[in-house]
Structure 1
């Protein structure tokens, strides 16, 4: 069947479409854009240069829209025979053209992973897909190739696409950055496929892996693909890569998601701060209870030691406390910490000629 490769591509894209629904947008930017005008200026200053592989055919810009937001997303320069397909809920192709050409839109998946099993468990419980990090080449070989192979479609080759890597890295500045990322890897790898029915495909894997300061990584990818008659594949491939490297995003559209992600980060930050405040309060309460317990233990231990050693504590008029031998009713202290004990209530060492060269202060026995 000549359309077997097309069906395989559609199947692959439908799998990843299901896995990426309701995934939050990535948070990634080097500065905060306050309004759309700033986005326009940044876009004009950082537009990716056109590639040297200019299409052989005449080109025209096609506009892609987000119907839910009723907003233009971007314009893309494509050969004039590439036509937009009618939109429907089950449509997998976005464009069709001569020579069996079909363009499959962006679908992908996001995962999280950590070397800490507890973090992985928590992520899974909150609805995140947990999977050890794969390279884009591994994604192609382990996640895409097995499905294609079932339909007799073979992988021809893989290679990086420098102009699209540069484009994706440049695009990162228009995404909000929450501040948790320590590093991020951006890559684009192309894979070429061939069937025994006279059709060939190109699938682009746009890949990213963001590492935070807790040794956790959020990684994922989205796919773009084309299917065309094999004899027209080489030129169509060049046209497609050219179109992707030269598409122009609508500043309002970028700014909408930038602010959406910024607000999401703020709300998440507030929740995080509240959780941390609760944890700090709980931790402080535990510390205070520990101090109280420790002080109580220390007091009881001191009482035990004093009783065992037959000591008692007295306090002078100045408020200074002293340890003295127990057994007497009255104690006097001098400024050097020396004391005189007696059981005679009328005795006063200040009147005793044996001690008249020193000052003695009466004390109170602590109970």
Structure 2
């Protein structure tokens, strides 16, 4: 048992029987359901962030709640740790324990019986870890709590568990380690409404430098580049494609970004207003809930199997930084989380769904935005393509000139909206609350492109669009003359859009904002629902 050998002594206490047989340790609990026993060795500070920890585990006797495996990242004060264990129900899982409680981070089925010996491993890459089962990479996770802390073994609940070959060793430099490059080429051509395709390098999973270039996204309305992203130079940016925005050699394809916005509140008056308007009061959801409720139905329809779920902490930090740069009419507290969901199908294709969750807490109501983009590639080309996309998203750059113009426009729209809302309320009061006769109209005209997340150029991902629309109870509307499309809150019979890219919904077929004295100073076009 390596460094744990002098620590673990044969004993009978606390419901646990501990025995040492030829260097292997057996822990048995027959009387204390839910009891946990663990042993650990403190970390060498010089090795933290680059350790490889492994142990052989056999569940000699177990039941559904039994588990045994690795204790990782143990901190005494305040107490926190991770458990990477084999379970009696035939699963392997990673749980986290901290001041907020005990949480499952990821779980997956074992390909062998739990009565057979399973080798569990954790490999550190800075503040990220990779989970291994019998030498096969199963999942990865990253956050600020990882890459440090004591490590050891753990067993829980009723059962008998055998541990052998516990080891800690420094991670060797290997070509298999993904490295995120950080291109630092400045955006200095943006004022001229164009970005040059700068050459840089991206370290892929072969360890060899692969050339990349910056692909530019243009804002059709302003004629300015809004952002650029570094991707492999042999990839191609697609136009006029409803589902995919990039493709590469070997049938690599990347979808457009799609998204949905949700409102939530703890204010009773605002909650009542939500109910009256037919607006869902949906607090932020965990990635597990999002996956099960919204991604799994599509996966079942398409024959895809979820293989891994893990956090993307670098992307979350970038997303939080980006969202803080957009104009907001109200004080907000922002948060962001990013995840990767990996899938496979029976046709030899692997997929990764990159999911971003941006939350804005405010009063009296808050909102959160779910964005999703996916990549597909044949199994043998998937790891390098996946890493290239994630690296590109982490290092994507926003045009500061475009952002400044966008914020200026949003500020002006907010001021106009406030004045129009006041005029509308005065008109309704003067008419004896005539709103009851015009049918349900949203109390505020909603901003379709709120904070830039709902750009209409990013709404063409067919498969994922179906998923995120289900999440947000949203629909797509189109200009019957130009075909211009927007993603908006569903539930209305009529949708009207004005010249400032703002819309309202109504259930009254006789209502026409062009004839409304409080609205007819604007140009309104009735849009058709297409999804």
Shift of 1:108: 0.4
Instruction: Give the secondary-structure state (helix, strand or coil) at the position aligned to 1:174.
Output: coil
Shift of 1:270: 4.1
What is aligned with 2:233? 80
Cα 1:55/1:97, change in 2 over 3 Å: farther
> What is the CA–CA distance in structure 2 between the aligned matches of 1:185 and 1:276, rounded to whole Å?
34
What is aligned with 1:119? 270
- The answer to whether the 8 Å contact 2:320/2:358 transfers is no
**Greater percentage in helix:** 1
Match of 1:247 among 389, 396, 405: 396
- Give the greater-gyration-radius structure (CA): 1
Match of 2:216 among 36, 48, 63: 63
- The answer to whether the 8 Å contact 2:303/2:345 transfers is yes
What is aligned with 1:151? 302
Deviations along 1:276-330, one digit per CA (max 9) or x if unpaired, are: 999xxxxxxxxxxxxxxxxxxxxxxxxxxxxxxxxxxxxxxxxxxxxxxxxxxxx
> What is the CA–CA distance in structure 1 between the aligned matches of 2:294 and 2:347, rounded to whole Å?
23
Q: Which has the higher contact order (CA 8 A, sep 6+)?
A: 1
- The answer to whether the 8 Å contact 2:339/2:354 transfers is yes
Cα 1:79/1:55, change in 2 over 3 Å: farther
Instruction: Give the secondary-structure state (helix, strand or coil) at the position aligned to 1:58.
Output: strand
Deviations along 1:195-227, one digit per CA (max 9) or x if unpaired, are: 11101111111101222232x321121111111
- The answer to whether the 8 Å contact 1:55/1:79 transfers is no
**Greater percentage in strand:** 2
Deviations along 1:147-183, one digit per CA (max 9) or x if unpaired, are: 11222101111111111111112212320122342x2
- The answer to whether the 8 Å contact 1:203/1:226 transfers is yes
TM-score (normalizing by structure 1): 0.55
Instruction: Give the secondary-structure state (helix, strand or coil) at the position aligned to 1:176.
Output: coil
Match of 2:245 among 88, 91, 94: 94
Shift of 1:274: 7.2
Cα 1:117/1:200, change in 2 over 3 Å: farther
- The answer to whether the 8 Å contact 2:354/2:374 transfers is yes
Q: Where does the alignment leave 5 or more consecutive residues of structure 1 unmatched?
A: 1-36, 41-49, 279-367
- The answer to whether the 8 Å contact 1:51/1:245 transfers is no
Instruction: Give the secondary-structure state (helix, strand or coil) at the position aligned to 1:169.
Output: helix
- The answer to whether the 8 Å contact 2:315/2:394 transfers is yes
- The answer to whether the 8 Å contact 1:178/1:265 transfers is yes
- The answer to whether the 8 Å contact 2:254/2:375 transfers is yes
Cα 1:274/1:207, change in 2 over 3 Å: same
> What is the CA–CA distance in structure 2 between the aligned matches of 1:72 and 1:127, rounded to whole Å?
37
- The answer to whether the 8 Å contact 1:109/1:220 transfers is yes
What is aligned with 2:86? none
Deviations along 1:114-133, one digit per CA (max 9) or x if unpaired, are: 24565345346668554343
Match of 2:409 among 255, 260, 264: 260
Shift of 1:235: 1.1
Q: Where does the alignment leave 5 or more consecutive residues of structure 2 unmatched?
A: 1-187, 192-200, 428-531
> What is the CA–CA distance in structure 1 between the aligned matches of 2:329 and 2:285, rounded to whole Å?
24
> What is the CA–CA distance in structure 2 between the aligned matches of 1:55 and 1:66, rounded to whole Å?
35
Alpha carbon RMSD of aligned pairs, Å? 3.4
- The answer to whether the 8 Å contact 1:188/1:206 transfers is yes
For the pair 1:203 / 2:356, whether they are aligned, the reply is no
Q: How many residues align?
A: 231
What is aligned with 1:174? 325
What is aligned with 1:221? 370
For the pair 1:186 / 2:336, whether they are aligned, the reply is yes
- The answer to whether the 8 Å contact 1:136/1:207 transfers is no
Cα 1:133/1:166, change in 2 over 3 Å: closer
> What is the CA–CA distance in structure 2 between the aligned matches of 1:255 and 1:187, rounded to whole Å?
25
- The answer to whether the 8 Å contact 2:353/2:372 transfers is yes
